[in-house]
Chains A and B, each alone.
Chain A
Amino acid sequence: SQQGEEDPQALSIQEGENATMNCSYKTSINNLQWYRQNSGRGLVHLILIRSNEREKHSGRLRVTLDTSKKSSSLLITASRAADTASYFCATAVSYGNNRLAFGKGNQVVVIP
């Protein structure tokens, strides 16, 4: 199964700055999703972008998808201390078995 590979692995920013993370994958996908994991908690779904979409917004989140480059980016604007978490991308390659392949995750630390 394929895996997303986020880049960079760790990011430390000041509150109010923007945070950008990238994710690359290897095969064709139906959709790509981003999840957040706070320390000691389960993953929380943030946003889903379908393979025929190029950009999607949700609040302070902006996701882009470039299927020709097999990559996606997650932008968090005006970051807050509460955004400190690990962020994972996950790709859905088939609706048939409902499998998601998760990447390694980006640790984001927002300094107040």
Chain B
Amino acid sequence: DTAVSQTPKYLVTQMGNDKSIKCEQNLGHDTMYWYKQDSKKFLKIMFSYNNKELIINETVPNRFSPKSPDKAHLNLHINSLELGDSAVYFCASGRTSGGNEQFFGPGTRLTVL
């Protein structure tokens, strides 16, 4: 299936732990994104990579570190998890050319206890 996939779908962990979320797209897009959606459903961009190069880096704590090993993958590593990191994290992809329609993954619900 052509899609944006991310794993895991649910992540429950203790404060202070380090965790990673993986994202893969097989749509041939050159740009990938990480978004955070809070409990009020507000969606905020965190990072964007174009051809493995970081092009958007919003005001995000440096405990969050994205890594793009290739155009099809963008992973998110989070160190020293805090309660406020609890949210749904979405990966998305799109093309630089055109209107920048974005295709979203199913989301990873992170709960920090």
SS class, residues of chain B in contact with chain A: strand
With beta carbons under 8 angstroms apart, the residue of A41, A48, A97, A104 that contacts B55 is A97
Residues from chain B with a CB closer than 8 A to the CB of A41 are 106-107
Count of A-B residue pairs with CB < 8 Å: 61
Q: Is B83 an interface residue (CB 8 A)?
A: no
* Complex Cα spacing A27 to B48, Å: 21
Interface size counted on chain B using CB atoms at 8 A = 25
**Residue of B with least CB distance to A45:** B101
Q: Is B27 an interface residue (CB 8 A)?
A: no
Q: Is A25 an interface residue (CB 8 A)?
A: no
SS class, residues of chain A in contact with chain B: strand
Q: Is A99 an interface residue (CB 8 A)?
A: yes
Q: Is B66 an interface residue (CB 8 A)?
A: no
Given A92-B100, A95-B100, is A86 in contact with B41 using a C-beta cutoff of 8 Å?
yes
Max chain B CB contacts within 10 Å: which of A35, A86, A98?
A98
Residues from chain A with a CB closer than 8 A to the CB of B56 are 97-99
Residues from chain B with a CB closer than 8 A to the CB of A35 are 104
Do B42 and A104 touch (CB < 8 A)? yes
Q: Is A59 an interface residue (CB 8 A)?
A: no
Bitwise interface map of A from 33 to 48 toward B, beta carbon under 8 Å scored 1, else 0: 1010100111111001
Question: 30 A–B contact pairs at CB < 8 A?
Answer: A30-B99, A33-B101, A35-B104, A40-B107, A41-B106, A42-B4, A42-B90, A42-B92, A42-B105, A43-B92, A43-B102, A43-B104, A45-B102, A45-B103, A48-B99, A48-B101, A50-B99, A86-B41, A88-B43, A95-B100, A97-B55, A97-B56, A98-B94, A99-B45, A99-B48, A99-B56, A100-B45, A102-B44, A104-B42, A105-B42
Residue positions of B touching A, CB distance < 8 A? 4, 31, 40-45, 48, 50, 55-56, 90, 92, 94, 96, 99-107
